Every structure is written in C-alpha cells, then in structure tokens.
Chains A and B, each alone.
Chain A
Amino acid sequence: MEWDYFLNEVVANRDALLHGAAITFAVSLIAILAGTVLGIVIGIAVTYGGKPLRWPARLYIDIIRGTPVLVLVLATFYVSSAVGLNLNAFQAGALALTLFCASHVSEILRGALQSLSRGQIEAGRAIGLTFGGIFRYILFPQALRYALPTWITAAVEMVKASTLLSVIGVAELLLTTQQIISNNFLNMQFYLLAGVIYFLIDFAIEQVGRFIGRRLDQPTRRAV
C-alpha cells in the first residue's frame, strides 16, 4: 500500500525530479569541462614548468586535495559573498567543483606525462618542434591514452560530489529529493530512488569510459 503511495508520489513529482537531475547533469558537466581545461594547464605547469610555475601549481593541488569537498563547497559559497563576489549558490557550487576537478585532472595528467620517457621530448626538440608542438603531437596523445580511464573515474567522482551542493541550497537531484521527502515523509523510498538514479548515471559514465578505453587501447595492441 505504501508502495502505491510511493509510485503516485513519484509520478506527481516527476517534473521536479527531472529538473533536479538536469541541474545535477549541468553542474557536473560544467565542473568536468572547466575543471579539465584548468587541470591540463596546472598539470603541464607542475610537470614541465620552471620553479615559479611549478610551486604555485603544486601548492594549489595540495591545498585543494587536502580539503574535503564539502568544506571547499561551503568555503566557496560563504567566502565568495564575503569578498564581494556575488555568486549565487549554483555558481559558487560549480566553481568549487571546478576547482576540485582541476586538482584531480592535473594529478592524473602529471602521472600520465611522467610515465612517458624524456627521450621523446628530446627527439621532438631534435626535429625542431617547439614545446607546444611536442606537447600537442607527441606527449598529449600518449598521455591521453594512459589518463583516460582515471579521468572517467574523476568524472564519476564529480557527479557524486555534486550531491554536496544540496548543502548550500542548489536544487540538484538530492536537494529535490529531500524537498519531496519533507512533503510525504517517504524517506527510505525516495533516498533509494535517488540512489538508483545516481547509480545509473555513474554506471553509464563508467561503461562509456570502458568502451572508449578499449578503443584507445587497440593501436598499442596491434603494435605489440
């Protein structure tokens, strides 16, 4: 009987749930894209930069990675308004997740770049490529292959971390779920539903990642 009630409530709240899922999707996508761009820059700085570039990049990574995401989200939200940046909750949350994502991406990229032999850079220089050219044509394509599986894991982490924005009042999927629960008190059922939706999103990303990973792996296999 309670399950009938639950199903009716799901149908009644379907628009809110879809909207929440869309916000989750949007904020995760922004964080992953912007975080990846920023992370690539920081990753290059920390791997190949001279001291004045490498140290700030290292500091950035260590600070962000040493702070819990929830603290990062809360700090970004409150501090941004205290210093006069008028960010709304969505913007502050997206910013916090972007900063978090960038630190992960730069560490992933650094790991991948450091696994390439230095001889490749020297070979690139020998044929007269600039650093930009070496990175673009030699290092990045190879690093991408190493980094992609971990990068996909980071994308899953972003979707998971987006739930923390519910704490600062971004009406993403989890906060929407909580709002629905406050009306009908179906705690278990709706948290379960939210769990299932998050699982499906993350599982789908993971499978896409595996598929792409297999495709990217093929040339190496042929060569061997």
Chain B
Amino acid sequence: MNYHFNFAPILDQWPVLLSGLGLGLLLALVSIAIGSVLGLVVAFASRAPSPWLRSLAFTWISILRNLPILVIVLFLFFGMPQLGLSLDKITSFIVALSLYASAYMAEVFRGGLLSVPKGLTEAGQAIGLTSFRIKRYIVLPIMFRNALPAFGNNFISLFKDTSLAATIAVPELTFYARKINSETFRVIEVWLVASLLYIVCCYAITLVLRAMEKRLVLEKN
C-alpha cells in the first residue's frame, strides 16, 4: 500500500468541519427536546385508562420504531410538499428526527413510569394530592432519574443519526466530509477525521451524562 497521508487539505477546512459538528449537536438537542415532550405524552397515553388512547400510543411507537429514519427524512422533505406542506431542509429534518425520537423516548419513559413503585402514588393520594400534583411531584422526578441512562443512550444515537441530514444537503459534519472527499480525494484522511470527531463527541457526551447520573444518585442517598 503506497498511500501518502496528507492531512493539510482537511485541516484547512477545520472551522467548517467544527461548524458541521456543532450543527449536528444542535439538531440532536432540539430533536431530543421535542421528542421527549412528545414521548412523555405518548408514554402517559400508553398507560391511560382509555383503551383507545393506549392502542393509539402503541401504534405510534410501533410504526415509528419500525421505519428506517432515512425513509422518514426523505418522506417529510420530498413527499410533504405534495400535500402543500413545504418545510426548509433543517426544519424538515428536525421534524423527522423529533418524530423518530418520540417513539424511542416514549419507550424510555414508559419503562421509567413502570419503575415508580405503586405505593408512592398511593401515598400521594392518601395525603390528598390531585392526580396532576402526584405526577408533577412524585412520579416525574423518580421517572426521570430512572430513565436517565436510557435517555443518554438515545441522545447519542440521535446525534449519530444527524449524519443522515447530509442526504438532504443540511450542512453538518457528514455533508462536509463528503464534500471534502470529492473535492480533495484525501479519502482516508477525511473519513478518519470525520469518524474521530464523531467518536470524541460521543465520548464527551457519555462523560457528561455519567457525571449527571452520579450527581442524581448522590441526591437519592
């Protein structure tokens, strides 16, 4: 193998690559925020007294979890304008990723809800709290704490999924990597740098989340 490494053309584009990485993180953050709110609603619906609401919630989860995210992204960006709903590429991608995230977050929160001991909600009822206050002051804090590790894993996979935005030309890291790849032909270097940036970023997110988990566990004791 006679390959001469030359990182200069990639390092020239360093600010651009970093801006792509930043956009990816931003997309993931916005999507998980919207996805969590939606997911919380779906999780509560999946445990609602009404069988209609329950099956609606499970259908929502099942459909979105079994669809490839790329199909959702392309459908929303290219298909929806046919129904008169044209979104720009970033908004459209955020909608796609948020919908996708909502199904996964609903599963996370559903697991979290199941982990809240029944005795605690009963205790809340016994001291005369309304059902909203039981949720607000008892169920949700415990649920969030239990759901944190799974939440972190989902955030990391959503961050990685932001690479798909490159397929609809959202200028994030993978988009720039492909661009530099075709402009400079420094094939190995560009993919090495792009993967490393993703790996380091994922690792940093893991560290932050672990620190958060530790603090919450301490609070519990």
Contact = CB atoms under 8 A, between A and B. Distances in A.
Given A66-B199, A191-B75, A195-B75, A74 B70 contact: no
- Residue of A63, A70, A164, A178 with most chain B CB atoms under a 10 A cut-off: A70
A188 B82 contact: yes
A1 B115 CA distance: 52
Given A68-B198, A79-B188, A188 B83 contact: yes
A202 B63 CA distance: 10
A62 B199 contact: yes
Contact of A71 (B67, B69, B71, B191): B191
Nearest to A204: B66
Bin the interface of chain A by size. 35 or more
A174 B79 CA distance: 14
Contacts of B66: 156, 160, 198-199, 202-203, 206
B181 interface: yes
A69 interface: yes
A119 interface: no
Q: Which 8 A-B pairs have the closest CB atoms?
A: A188-B79, A66-B199, A202-B66, A75-B191, A68-B163, A68-B160, A191-B75, A160-B68
Contacts of B161: 68
B75 A188 contact: yes
21 contacts: A68-B161, A68-B162, A68-B163, A71-B177, A74-B174, A74-B181, A75-B195, A78-B181, A83-B1, A83-B188, A160-B67, A160-B69, A161-B68, A174-B68, A174-B74, A187-B78, A187-B79, A187-B81, A195-B71, A198-B71, A206-B66
Contacts of A206: 66
Given A72-B195, A74-B181, A174-B74, 20 more contacts: A62-B203, A66-B202, A67-B199, A70-B174, A71-B195, A74-B174, A74-B177, A79-B187, A81-B187, A161-B68, A162-B68, A174-B68, A187-B79, A188-B80, A191-B74, A192-B75, A195-B75, A198-B67, A198-B71, A202-B65
A174 B160 contact: no
A125 to B, nearest CB: 34
Contacts of A192: 75, 79
Interface residues of B, number: 40
Contacts of B194: 71, 75
B198 A67 contact: yes
Interface in A81-127: 81-84
B40 to A, nearest CB: 22
Nearest to A82: B187
B71 A82 contact: no
B3 to A, nearest CB: 7
A73 to B, nearest CB: 10
B203 A166 contact: no
